[in-house]
Amino acid sequence: MGIFNYYPSNPKKLDPELEKRIFIHSLIFPAAFVFVFWIVEIIEQALGSTFVYLGVYPLHLKGLPGILFSPFIHSGFDHLISNSIPFFILMFMLIYFYRRISYRIFIQMYLLAGICVWLAGREAWHIGASGVVYAMAAFHFVSGIIRNDVRLLTLSVVVVFLYGGMVWGMFPINPDVSWEGHLWGAVSGVVLAFYYRKYIIRRDKFDWEEEEEEEVGSDQSQLPEQEEEEVGSDQSESEDSAEKKGKNQNPGNVSHTGEF
C-alpha cells in the first residue's frame, strides 16, 4: 500500500521498477474480486442451489445484506462472463490511475449503488455486479471529460462496446434485467466523478505531446530574436532618415512631440 502514497504535484515518469510494482498491484485486487465471483457461481452450480436470497430486495430488511453481497451473485455463467471482463478492466483503471484514493472511491460507489437500489428499486431480487460496473464506467467516462483525459475516455468507450448495449441497460426494456441497478450505479459513478473532480490523476505525457511542446518552445524562443532584429533594423532606418531630413530641414520646424 505504501507505494500508492507517491503523488507529486508535478508528476514525472516513475522509476520503471516502481511502475511495474504499481501495475501488478493494480491487477491483483480486480483479479481477486473476479475470482470470488467465479467461485461463488461454481459452488452454486455444484450444489444445484441458488444464492438469490443474498441479493438486494428493495425496502425490505431481508434485502439489506444484498447491498454487500449482491455483486457476487449471478444468474448463470453467461451473466457472470458478461460482468467479469468489464469489471476487471474498469477496476484496474480505477486503482492504476487514482491510486491512493482508489479503494475509497470503489467502496463509496459500491455501497452507494446498492443503497440506491434498495431505496428506489422495484420489489424483486436484484443480483449481479453490473451495478458496480455501470458505476465505474460512468465514473471513468465523466472523469475523462472533466479532466480532458484521452485515456479514460478511450478505455471507457472500449468497455461500453465490450459490455454491449450499456446505455439501453439503464431503461426498463427487459423486465428480467435490473435496470434500476444499472441506472443507480451510473448515477453513483457520475456523482463521485464530480465529487473527486479536483483530484489530479498521475499522467505520463505521450511522445507526440512532448514533441509538440518542444516545437512550440523552439518557435517561442526564436520570436524575440526575430522581433529584436526587425526592431533594430527599423530603428536604424528611422535614424538614417532623420539624419537626412535634419540636413535638409530647419530644426525649428520640429514640434515638441517630435513630429514634422
Do 109 and 38 have their domain in common? yes
CB atoms within 10 A of CB 201: 19
Residue 16: all three cell numbers together: 520503471
Residues 6+ apart with CB under 8 A from 209: none
Q: What's the rounded Cα separation, in Å, for the pair 67 and 72?
A: 10
* Residue at a domain's end among 156, 172, 195: 195
pLDDT in tens, 155-197: 777 776 766 567 778 888 888 889 999 999 999 999 999 999 8
Task: Report the range of poorest mean pLDDT among 67-81, 144-158, 171-185, 210-224.
Answer: 210-224
Full domain range(s) for residue 242: 210-248
Higher-pLDDT residue of 83, 239: 83
- The residues pairing with 56 across neighbouring beta strands, listed in sequence order, are 126
Distance CA 62, CA 162 (A): 34
Is this structure's pTM higher than 0.75? no
Looking at the fold, whether 129 and 223 belong to one and the same domain comes out as no
| Nearest to 129, CA basis, from 115, 105, 113, 143 | 113
Written as nine digits, the cell of 218 is 523552439
- Structural domain includes residue 94: yes
129 and 65 inside one domain: yes
**pLDDT at residue 33, rounded to an integer:** 96
On average, the pLDDT of the chain sits at 78
Query: Tell me: the pLDDT tens digits for 94-149?
Result: 999 898 899 999 999 999 999 999 999 999 999 999 999 999 999 988 888 888 87
